[in-house]
Amino acid sequence: MLYDFTLYPLESILETMLVIFIAITGSAFWSIVMLAISVRLLTKPLEKITSAAGRNQTQFEAVLRPQLATIKHEQTGSQRHDAIIRLYQRYSYHPIFTVRSLFGLLVQLPFFIAAYFMLSGFTGMSGVMIPVLGNLGVPDTLLFGRFHLLPFIMTLVNILALVTLESSNRRSLVQGLILSFGFLVLLYESPLGLIVYWTTSNLVSLSSNLTPALAKKVPIKISLPSFKGSGVERFFEEYAYIFFVVNLAILVPLLGVLGGQFNLFTAHGMTGDAIISLLFYVALLPSIVLSLLRRLAKLLGGAKAFDGLVLGVFLGVFLTYLFNKAGYGILTSDYEPAILFMAALLVTTGAVVIILNTGMLRKLSYFSLIIPLVLLHFIFVSPASTLFAGPGGMRTAIPESINDTPVILMVFDEFSGLTIQDAEGDVDVSRYPGFAEIALNADYFPNALTVDYRTDISVPSMVSGTLRSAEKSGLAAGENLIELFQDWGGGVLAQSSVLPADLMYDQQVNLYSLASDTVTLYLHIISHQDWIENKIGVIPPTWKDFGIFYEIDDEDDEVHSEPLYIFDSWLEQLTNNAADKQFNFLHVEFPHAPYTSSATGRVQVNGEVFRRQLFTSETIDAEQPFLNVAYHNYLQQSSYADLLLKRLIRELKETGLYDKSLIIVTADHGVSYNVSGLNRRIPLTKDSWKNIVSVPLMVKYPFQETGSVDVSFVTTLDIAPTIMDVAAVDSPWELAGESLKTLGAKSQTNSVELIPGFEDYFDDALALFEEGRSIKALLFGVGSPVSKVAVNYTENPIYSALLNTDVSVSSVEEFSDLHAIWGGSLRPSEMTQFGKIYVGSEPTDGKVIAAVVNKKIQAVFVSGIVEGESGKFAFSLPEAEANPVEFAATLYEVEVGEEVTLKRIEIVNIGQLSFETKEFIEYDWKNSVASTNGLDSLEVGDELISVLASTSDDPFVVMQPISVQPISTPIILIELVSNKELLLQLFYQTVDERFFDGARSKISTIYEGSNTVYFEIPETEFSGDFRIDLGFGGFTDVDIIDIEVRY
């Protein structure tokens, strides 16, 4: 913690400078020299201040020493002591003041230590050979080939600097000499780079000691235009603070995150140049606009008020950000966001008052010089630096030769290797015919594993052939397959949303989406994490199109078009220029969630609640039956992914590339729906580990005729060595994996030890894989295509027998005492159907339900808890059954006694269920509109309220309280006619919480035409205004026909 706020920033600054110097000079040696000089020059002002304290001390010593000598000579004992005390009193001196000469050290010490640690940890130094001197990372051996010469030169320089020190006296000379030799001993075994740094630093001392003497001899006067007192200074001091505070609030938090997690840029296809342009706009535009406004405010005489406003807003934002980050989780209370915000507000107010009243504003302007450094750190040093065309001097040599084998590497995203396997572990031919086809003449690795469960680490690792990490994320600059083939001249066709866009062929940026996503991300960064996630959800791992201002057009049938568009476009490029590119690489975010495609590619969507719970949250808050539904969704989409693979194979065969190419098909990581409570991608438990670390892996060598299965444990890190092996190239850098071509009888490759959870679960891997396959078989059966799969979500074999059973009307005359309501509506375009099961008016869990379509049981499932709500059920249907637009599902309660009995469940709407039984409350709804937002018009007619909205400006209507007294658990009925489908959200308040919040809202889907919706308010003290939100986007024309309240 202390390190984070003290030495770490300094180390970062020094490292930034070093990397920039390396980029400029291309030489690590000269960069260290320049760093040492720069540090000395930059700390010069500090040295000046501290040396003044030192000089002060020297003065005292010069004046006091002779007097002390006299006293000591003339007096003894207590008289002497008294005389000395009197002397000190007259001069207001104390012997402890000697430490004043230490101030210089206190200021410099952090720089020295930071430079030391930075250089020690700087990997760019080892192995760099300097002519004559040798390797920067190890001590030199210039003295008789064995001993180190440079430390002696360093000591010599040190002594020269000492001797030439102006204020040098005999005592300090002796002290200095002892220290110099001490350093010689300490540093004798140090790497050359450290010695170079320190020698240079001392050379600076030496030259600054000699400068006054030289200047006297060479009377050259250089008169530089003075900054001090000039108009430039005045302008700078007046306006530069804006640049500082604005970027402190915007750029610093943004780059703090994007420096480490830069998928936002890659996902939007931004090249290095585009990113830099964006950063410059972000850094400069707001400041320029505000500066102009300040100029205007000054003309109008309101400069100080303007300064206060700018400071208040931006310093406030920055402090809110700081408090939210530093204080997160400390209070663990619901009020934490509010408390942190208030604290930030308080500190901001104090700071603004102090700054404005002490004239510190002008001094603040000088801090603006930090901002360019932040930018440079991002571009050159942060992990994101890999996005920018190579920091010079780091590129590895081009290999001597590469043969002309075309390479095709296809990487799916979030696709478990176990998914394509049948119960025995072979390729599931009926469900994954594409994989089966390539397996006919490829090596299939059923036990292939990923080395990381995060896409932005896994994919770069695969392409680099080395394990990347959160700290060293992104592609290894200059050391990856893409640049290897590019530099060789073999031609590259590469596409991935997590790799630098400079290396990808598709560099199109959707500015609107980018702006919306960036703003949303920024809001996330500065806000309290829980609060903002509750408000607008988490940042999805795709890092794209999540922005709150960006809307996916509901009218567009091609919801899942993004990854598929990328696949189509890549495939087109590949086949059109079949002979051109040697290395063809595609990482496509498919069958990655959200699930929008059926097994046959038909567009499907999930209900809002379902989507939010399973795919946009870090944790899954639903019971297993719900996860099984998600599993089925995934299964369908992965089946469609197989169709894509089939297309690829077909196209390759048609263009003649198939035979002669090395084709590798795999995925970045798997996915698990085997356990609730955790993210579907984080392998923290045995249950989820198996499905997440397993990836499909097919390797088809050029002209391979027969397929084989290799059960060795291998990883995605073994792909790069395999490609290099086939292309007959010696890797210019060290690879973590090994070629699969020459695996022989090895049961596992070396890189297997690098996989996540290796220590904990790998020993049981085979058993766990077996278990994973059997669960899948249990849930979805075997042998029929996924599109026709009948599902059994209960995981209980007894119920499996029920699937596809004919349900004759006569056998199920009896009605269950359960009721069901659809949580939305049962529609073929929805992937998942869900609702709630009641006994009377109480939701009930653990009820086994069968869904019957066309008189056949198509799904069996259990009601349970989702998001804390009981009675929820969900199921998804075999595509064959869900396909017809007109279909009707009936639900049956399943009871297993001596024989299985089915009781028909009445599907009701909640009105019939409980509305009627409640008491009516008088509410003059037509005359109760309190306020509106984002509407074109609101007309109150005799029988209705007519609402028109044409913008996406959050249209809503706030209604006045229903009653002065709080109402317990009311049901609000709203009847309306809508021009389109939309999500109606009802916000309400309670006695204690008199504001609107997402946590106190109910959502219902509204369809085109007449709708009757019932909102059950689960509060005992419902009170105050309530708000009806009419969704987002497009033209909305809603007539509210009735609002009725009962309790």
Partner 1 sequence: MFRIFVLLLFSAGYSREAYAYLDPASGNALASFFIAVFGSAVFFLKTLFYKIFAHSSYKTQSNKNLGVDSNMPVLFSEGEIYWATFRPIVEEFIRRKIHFRYITLDVHDPALAIDNDCMHSKRISKNKLGFTKLAGLEAPVMLSTTPNIGSEGYPMPRPEGVKNLVHVFHALVDVSCYRKGSLDFYDSVLLVGEHEAESIRLVESARGLSAKELIVAGLPCLDDLDRQKEELCKDRLTGGDALTTVLVAPSWGSKGCFTEHGTDFVKTLSRSGYKVIIRLHPHSFIFEPGSVDKWRLETQELDNVSWDDEAQGTIAMSQADILISDASSIRFDFAFLYEKPVLSLEIPRESRSTFESDYMDATWADTMVEEIGVGVTSENLTVIDEIVKDTISSFATEAFSGLRNRYVDNFRYSSVVIVEYLEHQAKLLSLTADQLVSRRSIEQLEGQVDEDRSQLSHLSDHSERQS
Tell me the one-letter amino acid at 679: N
- Measured distance CA(972)–CA(977) in Å, rounded: 16
Instruction: Identify which of residues 79 and 277 has a Cβ nearer to partner 1 in the complex.
Output: 79
Find the helix or strand (DSSP H, E) in which 919 lies. Answer: none
**Other CB atoms within 10 Å distance of the CB of residue 761:** 18
Question: Least distance in Å: CB of 82 to partner 1?
Answer: 4
Question: Backbone dihedral region of 836: left (phi > 0), alpha (psi from -120 to 50 degrees) or beta?
Answer: beta
State the CB neighbour count (10 A cutoff) for residue 998: 12
Binding residues for partner 1, rule: CB under 8 A, are: 51, 54, 59-60, 63, 67, 77-79, 81-83, 85-99, 101-106, 108-109, 111-113, 115-117, 158, 161-162, 165, 172, 175-176, 179-180, 182-183, 186-187, 190, 194, 197-198, 201-202, 205, 219
Provide, rounded to whole angstroms, the least separation between the CB of residue 98 and partner 1: 3
Alpha-carbon distance 133 to 153, whole Å? 12
**Distance of closest approach, residue 108 Cβ to partner 1, in angstroms:** 6
Three-state helix/strand/coil letters over 218-270: CCCCCCCCCCCCCHHHHHHHHHHHHHHHHHHHCHHHHHHHHCCCCHHHHHCCC
- Helical residues (DSSP H) of 537-680, grouped into ranges: 561-576, 608-615, 624-655, 657-660
- Stated as kind and residue range, the H or E segment containing 109 is helix 103-121
- Nearest to partner 1 of 157, 319 (CB atom): 157
Q: How far is the CB of 47 from partner 1 (least distance, A)?
A: 9
Nearer to partner 1, 95 or 797 (CB): 95
Dist CA 172 CA 168 (whole Å): 6
- Among residues 169 and 931, whose Cβ is nearest to partner 1? 169
Choice between 83 and 709, CB closer to partner 1: 83
Closest separation in Å from C-beta 219 to partner 1: 7
| Cβ proximity to partner 1, 30 vs 116, nearer residue | 116
Q: How far is the CB of 380 from partner 1 (least distance, A)?
A: 23
Shorter beta-carbon distance to partner 1: residue 105 or 331 = 105
Closer to partner 1 by Cβ: residue 177 or 284: 177
- Residue 116, classified by CB atoms within 10 Å of its CB into exposed (0-12), middle (13-18) or buried (19+), is middle
Toward partner 1, which CB reaches closer, 145 or 219? 219
Shortest spacing between CB 381 and partner 1, in angstroms: 21
Least distance from partner 1 to the Cβ atom of residue 130, Å: 19
Nearer CB in complex with partner 1: 82/753: 82
Amino acid at 10: L
Nearer to partner 1, 81 or 994 (CB): 81
- What Cα–Cα distance (Å) separates residue 619 from each residue in 207, 539, 630, 757? 62, 13, 14, 19
Cα distance between residue 643 and residue 666, in whole Å: 15
What are the backbone dihedrals phi and psi of residue 1044, each rounded to the nearest 5 degrees, phi first?
-130, 140
Helix (H), strand (E) at residue 584: strand 583-588
> Closer CB to partner 1, residue 88 or residue 152?
88
DSSP 378: I
CB of 4 to partner 1, least distance (A): 16
**Minimum Å distance from CB 174 to partner 1?**
9
The 3-state DSSP class for residue 820 equals: strand
Q: Which residues lie below 8 Å from residue 639, measured CB to CB, with a gap of 6+?
A: 431, 432, 599, 785, 786, 787
Query: At closest approach, how far in Å is the CB of 677 from partner 1?
Result: 42
Q: Which is nearer to partner 1, 51 or 901 (CB)?
A: 51
- Tell me how far, at minimum, the Cβ of 181 lies from partner 1, in Å: 11
**3-state SS assignment for residue 835:** strand
Q: How far is the CB of 178 from partner 1 (least distance, A)?
A: 8
Q: Which is nearer to partner 1, 213 or 289 (CB)?
A: 213
Q: How far is the CB of 131 from partner 1 (least distance, A)?
A: 25
Least distance in Å: CB of 234 to partner 1?
20
Question: How far is the C-alpha of 482 from the C-alpha of 574, rounded, in Å?
Answer: 15
Three-state secondary-structure class, residue 910: helix
Closest to partner 1 by CB, 62 vs 389, is 62
Of the pair 219, 229, the CB lying nearest partner 1 is at: 219
Pairing label, strands 1036-1046, 1009-1016: unpaired
CB of 136 to partner 1, least distance (A): 16
- The C-alpha atoms of residue 841 and residue 869 are separated, in whole angstroms, by 14
Burial pattern 828-837, b for ≥16 Cβ within 10 A else e, equals bebbbbbbbb
CB atoms within 10 A of CB 68: 16
- Nearest partner of 907 among 971, 1006, 833, judged by Cα: 833
CB nearer partner 1, residue 116 or residue 152: 116
Distance (Å, whole) CA 577 – CA 570: 11
Helices 624-655, 765-780: axis angle to 10 degrees equals 100
* Collapsed DSSP state (helix, strand, coil) of residue 370: helix
Roughly what angle, to the nearest 10 degrees, separates helices 316-326 and 251-258?
Answer: 40
Coil, helix or strand at residue 748: strand
Helix (H) or strand (E) holding 158, with range, is helix 150-163
Smallest gap, in angstroms, from Cβ of residue 163 to partner 1? 9
Which region holds residue 917: left if phi is over 0, alpha if psi is between -120 and 50, else beta? alpha
Q: Which is nearer to partner 1, 51 or 969 (CB)?
A: 51
Show the beta-strand stretches assigned E in 854-888.
Answer: 856-862, 864-866, 869-875
Measured from the CB of residue 180, what is the shortest distance to partner 1 in angstroms? 7
**Helix or strand or coil: residue 906?**
strand
